[in-house]
Amino acid sequence: MIVSAFTLEQKRAWAQLLAPWSATEVSKLDAQGLAGSAVAANFVAEAEKQGHVWPVRYGK
């Protein structure tokens, strides 16, 4: 098994690539009458309460 560690800059670059996809998927859920934005915001907030540090903070 090969395990690779990524630098914060590598993580940040990858996360920035995902930002448009994340926003699109949340918008699709909102458009269906689901609480996509609320769920995403709560997920981020709860993860941060547990100490998670995002390389890119979506939704801000």
pLDDT digits 0-9 by tens, 12-56: 999 899 888 988 999 999 999 999 999 999 999 999 999 998 888
- Angle, helices 36-49 vs 8-31, to 10°: value is 150
pLDDT of residue 48: 94
For the segment 6-19, what is each residue's pLDDT rounded down to a tens digit?
998 998 999 899 88
pTM comes to 0.73
Asked whether 55 and 11 are in contact (CB, 8 A), the reply is yes
SS3 8: helix
Among 17, 39, 16, 15, which Cα is nearest to 27's? 39
User: What is the C-alpha to C-alpha distance for residues 44 and 16, in angstroms, rounded to an integer?
Assistant: 16
